Amino acid sequence: MKVIGINGSARKDGNTSILIKTVFKELEKEGIETELIELSGKTIKGCMGCFCCKEKKQCIIRDDFFNECFNKMVNADGIILGSPVYSADISSKMKAFLERAGVIVATNSGMLKHKVGACVVAVRRGGGMTAVDALNHFLLNKEVLVVGSTYWNMVYGKDVGDVILDEEGIKNMRNLGENMAWLMKKIRNV
């Protein structure tokens, strides 16, 4: 079994990456392979609304990182979507990625059906619930089985590494990883 974590932050190895890696540690303890995909430094263009993806099951835009990342998501057993909060929402790269992925999956029903998914959000102050909702809405609308934890999947921190100081938030991330591993094993009868 494999879980990919897509980090929508503009900061490589920042707070969102720390959160995804915290969840990964719990998955790896259970023998689940993980892979972190950082959108930082990568180009992700917005959806053109051309619907060419209906026939090809891929986006017609080929000069950015989208198709490579999308294919990894389709081939994974589990998905973690992570974003910092920018202007009370998810990052623009994550938004562009989800818009394009959403159109492909909507026009090719079942591509993500019964995968296990979760979201994580790094937040400085406000907007965390909006970001959590945006990520969860994508997963739920694409038939992904969404895992929860003991509280909303957001952790507070401004500067890189500050999220580690939010003890309750980090504990929540660990629990999220445990719950995700449990569900994945139940689905696979492991």
Query: At 74, is the pLDDT very low, low, confident or very high (cuts 50, 70, 90)?
Result: very high
Q: What is the mean pLDDT of residues 103-109?
A: 89
pLDDT at residue 128 above 90? yes
pLDDT score for 109: 82
Residue 117 and residue 147 in contact, taking contact as beta carbons nearer than 8 Å: yes
pLDDT score for 95: 97
- Listed in sequence order, the residues at least 6 apart from 182 whose beta carbon sits closer than 8 Å to its beta carbon are none
Q: Which domains does the chain have, with CATH numbers?
A: 2-188 (3.40.50.360)
What percent of the chain is predicted at pLDDT more than 70? 100
Determine how many CB atoms are found less than 10 A away from the CB of residue 73: 22
